[in-house]
Amino acid sequence: MTHAAAAPHSTQEKLARARDAAPRVARLGSEEKNGILRAMAALIAGNAESILEANRADLAAKDLRPSSRDRLLLNPKRMGEMLDGIQAVIRLPDPVGEILEQWTRPDGLEIRKVRVPLGVIGVIYESRPNVTVDAVVLAFKAGNAVVLRGGREAAHTNECLVDILCRVSGLPEGSIELLDSSSRDSVDELLRARGLVDVIVPRGGADLINRVVDTARVPVIETGAGNCHVYVDEDADLDVADRIVINAKVQRPSVCNSAEKLLVHRGIAAAYVPRIVRKLQEAGVEVRGDEETRRLAAGLDVRAALPEDWFTEYSALIMAVAVVDDLDAAIGHIRRFSTSHSEAIVTRDEQRGREFLERVDSAAVYWNASTRFTDGGEFGFGAEMGISTQKLHCRGPFGLKELTSIKYQVVGSGQIRS
């Protein structure tokens, strides 16, 4: 039976429908799930203009910040990426039923550790309507029902997408539920839905994530804000450093894997700080700096970085720059101010590169590569549910396998415990 997206259900009714749907989704075989996903992709492609029209209605709001507008925007290129993500997930092995370990005990008991769906996944997110499709596709392929609570700024787009996805024949009723985004009540009900929802994934800014973590009664996979750093070591290839710094900051500044801070080794600061400040400014970046940076970049209009700058995720064309004494000082700075998302070192020195990889305690750590690669698609996961900065139950970009749990299947022949 197909979900009727237009039915006027309360939040509690939608949560109950998802709870009822979860066992039916879990029983679907790999080919059944992939067939439904193919049908979803075909419907999205066939209704692209309707989706873009709904997105234009959301974009017509007058009070959107540039970063919010960028996250909200759909265009033919992003629609193509959305469809590519579905196809990539279809090609991935189905994790459900995978036997992780098996062994036989001395008493003859056969024990298997097997992947199983989590059940009902709640996703609370802001702005980005591509999350609607990513969340549905990943949750469904991993055998779960999904409850979506998007931001009001993307209401038209999300409603259109969910309506289209729910038209697919064979999709169990209640597999995809979209909550009302016009008030915070639906968020509060979702956060309290212990027994109906198995896990909640928040995707958005620090305020949203902190609120979910602080108030949820349901287990949370925390997707963290991205105060990401690039450290340019004294032995860096400066041309490589330029490419990495500019890409990490400029390529898409509104997302969480964009670099917000640049640290420069004092040994090359006199040569490199004015060079990179000039290039950042030519790319449209507002540069804020510590006292040493401003001295070295005199005449380049570098604003003084305030204490709060070092903690701030700008999600905009702004970057704060600091000069540090050495690798230890860079790691100390990152340890103090980072959100443990993504950090990078640029160096030709193998010992320092490997030391940075080992000592920096973030979800993704790079040596001579941009932080912008912290992404499920770029890691080969097809799509991602989010980027976790916690250490349980997963960390970094997470997708299909992380949307499962495990259970032990034990087969005996009449054994009893003495």
Residues in the chain: 418
Dist CA 41 CA 23 (whole Å): 24
- Report CA torsion sign: 241, 242, 246, 247: negative
Domain 11-221+385-411 matching CATH 1.20.1250.20: the answer reads no
Specify the DSSP element, H or E, that contains 209: helix 206-215
Whether the Cβ atoms of residue 14 and residue 179 lie closer than 8 Å to each other: yes
CATH 3.40.605.10 occupies which residues in the chain? 11-221+385-411
The 8-class DSSP code of residue 20 comes to: H
Using only C-alpha atoms, the chain has a radius of gyration, in whole angstroms, of: 24
Note down pLDDT in tens along the chain; length 418 residues.
444 444 568 999 999 999 999 999 999 999 999 999 999 999 999 999 999 999 999 999 878 888 889 989 999 999 999 999 999 999 999 999 999 999 999 999 999 999 999 999 999 998 889 999 999 999 999 999 999 999 999 999 999 999 999 999 999 999 999 999 998 999 999 999 999 999 999 998 888 999 999 999 999 998 878 999 999 999 999 999 999 999 999 999 999 999 999 999 999 999 999 999 999 999 999 999 999 999 999 999 999 999 999 999 999 999 999 999 999 999 999 999 999 999 999 999 999 999 999 999 999 999 999 999 999 999 988 889 999 998 888 999 999 999 999 999 999 999 999 9
Whether the Cβ atoms of residue 368 and residue 384 lie closer than 8 Å to each other: no
CATH 3.40.309.10 occupies which residues in the chain? 228-373
Give the bridge partners for 367, in sequence order.
345
Specify the DSSP element, H or E, that contains 43: helix 30-46
Smallest CA-to-CA distance from 168 within 81, 268, 47 is with 47
Domain 228-373 matching CATH 3.40.309.10: the answer reads yes
Specify the DSSP element, H or E, that contains 280: helix 266-282
